[in-house]
Structure 1
């Protein structure tokens, strides 16, 4: 924007020189108007430049926002890629540890199977030896029984008789001790009773005692107080 300025002749010759100060009122007013016009021109130019600067700043701001948005998207994508990479590394480490554990377990299982097979073989051999020994013992026992069978029966019968005599002796001793501790009363029944048990018998505290050592001489229901 350009403005044309025209110079008017002043009333005084001394005022015509622009390098000198004016003395008349008209020249002073004219000079003031010229200064104001020049100031307005400078102000307009400054406003135009400021408007241009504002437009440039808005354009730069939009570019900056676009760059920030692209940078944020790039950072998000990079973060996701880093997370995936870290996750893959972690999973690979876990898989490596699991493979190591699996290999160790396989070795332990193979060693355990070998031990079990060895123990099974040893147990089988021992069982076969034990079975053969038991068969041999059974064979010898059968031969001994076949050879000494009569003597075995006689020995068992004698042992049973000895045990029975010992029990009867102990029973008689106990009954005699009971007779000494508790008073006895003799009861005599004339005739034969319906239950087949008759004749005299002894009682202790109204309990009927058997004759001698024969427990069948007294009915079971009469072994209680009357």
Structure 2
């Protein structure tokens, strides 16, 4: 069984992903793949440097993700250009891994962890989509604390995504992560039970 997993920035999606993995799910992580495809010397990294400037490449050949993040969240046009470069290779690698895991482990839950699943219009790829939900006020609070951002910087990142309430409405499965971890774990246990995975 395959599901898509998404949420808003600072909603706790990574926590839920880890909890699902602890419960036996195989995780295919879009963020991890996005870091792999920009390894030093990769063609994707070369394209980013050509498009946005060679100063984004550190002396050791790695991408300065913080500098790139500040650039693209301040400019919608640049953010969309970056997505056009990054999304096709990420999607191709995700599909390759999902197919491989599906053939090797047909009895396991496979979770495609994709932060921008709805924004990238990928919901058609999955029989069901799980959304990790917290109210926007809590998203803002957690993001400012986690990344040391001002309210303005944090809101720019939140507004770059589809509103969390819209994601909640579109979801097949909603995991409310606004309480403690025990409450989140209980919801995941119920989900696994309903699907006959526990």
TM interval, shorter chain, is under 0.3
Higher relative strand content: 2
Give the TM-score normalised by the residue count of structure 2.
0.18
Q: Higher Cα Rg: structure 1 or 2?
A: 1
